[in-house]
A and B are shown apart, each in its own frame.
Chain A
Amino acid sequence: MTSANPTFSPPISTPIATHLPPPAPRTRAEPAGEPPLSGTRRAGWLRRHARGIAAVALLLVVMFPFLWLVQLAFKPGAEIFEDSLFFVPTLEGFRSLLQGNFLKSFWNSLAVSTLSTGLSLLIGVPAAYALTRWQFKWRRHVALWILVTRMAPPIAFTIPFFLAYRWLGLQDTVLGLAIVYLTFNLAIVIWLMQTFFEAVPTALEEAAYIDGCGVWQAFWRITLPLASPGLAATAVLCFIFAWNDFFYALILTRTNAITAPVAIVNFLQYEGWEWTKIAASGTLVMFPVVIFTVLVRTYLVRGLTAGGVKD
């Protein structure tokens, strides 16, 4: 999967699905024999689309909890405990969010995620390139170490970071949180960008060397532009991971740099059960993520399964 993504690109080999159905209908249809023509046609249609129908039905079941949250966000507060699905949608919940402190936490989330994404790209992209093009003795070990950092449980980092930040005065700051997010984002950048750089033919760089370019000059002018779709996708993934974090933000922020996920939990704990407002905040927080998912879904798949499928 150096160039094409494994899941959503049209498969090169014919998937088994195309082989499997034919034998089944034949064996089943022949012994029956009796049903009238229209009947068989309908049954045939059903059989042909059985997969699609089952898939959509399952999708509805799986998505139901998610959709319920979204509809709750638009439900008038007075009707929240009523069963009817028919109500006049209201923006009441969102409006009350705007009046409170939620906007600030939303802004903090944006700032932390952007800063962390920028930092990890700045530091990680050159490293990924070096790891791709430079075969040195410890390469495999370095690559593995980088990946293992992503596996480590956050609690192992939070205790030292919490204690150190009290000393350094980085507690409850956007910068401090952005640095902590490097613990997972840097590994993602280095790992993902390697697969994208591998897809760029080395012959192009060699031509640039002959023309007198240095290594980084060739990288900047030739390789990076060619890998820019991958770069964009990596950036989006970093952003999403930072945006989604709850654990670090819960522990390392108090009031000043509080992020949106932590603010939601504060609603749950301190503001009673204002379900419309809570659902509205949840909807707002997931909004950027869902948009990004739709925008870069093919690359996203690669990032989410990072290295999971053998290349």
Chain B
Amino acid sequence: MSTTLTLHPGTGWEAARRRAFLWGLLPSLAVLLAITLVPAAALLVASFTPLSLTDAAGTFRFDDPLVNYRHLLEDERFLRSIATQLKLSASSVALQLAVGLALALLLNGRSKLLRATRTAFLVPMVLPPIVVALIWKILYTPDVSPVHRALEAVGLPVRSLIANPDTALWAISLADTWQWFPFTMLMVLAALQMVPDEPLEAASLDGANRRQLFRYIVFPHIRPVLVVCGLFRLIDSFKAFPLIYVLTDGGPGTVTEVTNYYGFIQAFNFSYWGYASAIAMVILAGVFALSWLVGRLGWNDHDKR
């Protein structure tokens, strides 16, 4: 894909071409700089100040730059939110990987029916997140939920899962899994099609059974994809918002208040922007660490083909 042109040697064609490309690239870089790097820098600066709605003068006060970060370490609610975040992320990502992998193995066939089902299974992932939240709000609301009513009909009335502090987080995890298992399914399906035939044929001629084939030949091929999938979803799970906002609003109490949500509350309910910026910086650091891991695992190897 290198396109070194030797058509116009010495006519400055290469230089002109480079200049043309530069002009194509520059607007994007400028816009991205303005809408991503500048806000990120502003966020970092704000996190060193006591900026809030009531203290507008605090915008450029840097007398105690680390005050917000010190508070974070003492803030029980923040520390709890991290634990909640980890519980939610780990459980929902693990479930997504399991369900996605199982479905991909089931649907990996050539029949028309299977192909059609594959498309239909994508629906949860493309639905607007707010509609997903709505769907689960209905399922978890005893008045209108078919599940609750069916349970009541057989004489087993159950309290709403999202109103119960013991189950609320798992209820959200379940909804999140429903929304995002298609992602793993898609990636694994794509990986399955790249599994070479020869070793499979050789092994089945040698009398390997289905489980052995999967364990020793198929699985090693899709394991990298599963790892990348898990990391991708882990990164995205830090952003989970609509589900929590609509289903529980962080409650009951604070049992479903993840870090992202806590940051949102600090910034836009209490207007402690400086403090919220520090929380956002922590999330950002986590996301970057994970992204770096994804990069290390060679997912973005456009050049090394």
Contact = CB atoms under 8 A, between A and B. Distances in A.
B130 interface: yes
Contacts of A144: 295, 300
Nearest to A27: B209
Given A124-B28, A155-B260, A310-B301, A286 B131 contact: yes
Contacts of A246: 128-130, 241-242, 245
B7 A51 contact: no
Contact of A130 (B22, B238, B276): B22
B243 to A, nearest CB: 10
Interface string A43-74: 00000000110111011001111101100100
Contacts of B135: 65-66, 68-69, 282
Contact of A273 (B123, B143, B178): B143
A161 B126 contact: no
Interface stretch (B65-73, B76-84, B261-269): B261-269
Contacts of B87: none
Contacts of A232: none
Contacts of A273: 143
B193 A265 contact: no
Contacts of A307: 299-300
Interface in A151-188: 151-164, 179-180, 182-183, 186-187
Contacts of B162: none
Nearest to A284: B131
Contacts of A214: 16, 20
A67 to B, nearest CB: 10
B232 interface: yes
A311 interface: yes
Contacts of A270: none
Interface residues of B, number: 120
Main secondary structure of the interface of B (DSSP, over half): helix
Interface residues of A, number: 120
B2 interface: yes
Given A127-B24, A279-B138, A198 B299 contact: no
A228 interface: no
Interface in B210-244: 210, 213, 218, 225, 228-229, 232, 235, 238-239, 241-242
Given A17-B110, A23-B209, A123-B27, A159 B46 contact: yes
Contacts of A15: 108-110, 192-193, 195
Given A63-B120, A65-B135, A305-B186, A285 B130 contact: yes
Given A83-B149, A127-B25, A153-B283, A163 B131 contact: no
A143 interface: yes
A168 B4 CA distance: 46
A7 B192 CA distance: 9
A6 B25 CA distance: 29
Interface stretch (B88-96, B111-119, B164-172): B111-119
Given A132-B1, A154-B239, A159-B273, 15 more contacts: A11-B193, A15-B109, A17-B110, A20-B204, A69-B135, A123-B31, A140-B303, A157-B36, A160-B38, A186-B35, A261-B130, A279-B134, A293-B122, A293-B123, A305-B183
Interface of A: 1, 6-8, 10-20, 23-24, 51-52, 54-56, 58-59, 62-66, 68-69, 72, 80-81, 83, 123-124, 126-127, 129-136, 139-140, 142-149, 151-164, 179-180, 182-183, 186-187, 190, 194, 198, 202, 205-206, 209-210, 214-216, 240, 243-244, 246-247, 250-251, 261, 264-265, 268, 273, 275, 278-279, 282, 285-286, 289-290, 293-294, 297, 300-301, 304-305, 307-311
Please provide the 3 A-B residue pairs with the shortest distance between their CB atoms, ordered closest to farther.
A127-B28, A126-B24, A6-B190
26 contacts: A10-B110, A12-B193, A18-B110, A19-B201, A52-B113, A55-B114, A62-B178, A65-B178, A68-B139, A69-B135, A124-B28, A142-B25, A147-B300, A153-B284, A155-B264, A157-B35, A162-B267, A179-B35, A182-B35, A209-B13, A244-B129, A261-B242, A293-B122, A297-B119, A301-B122, A309-B187
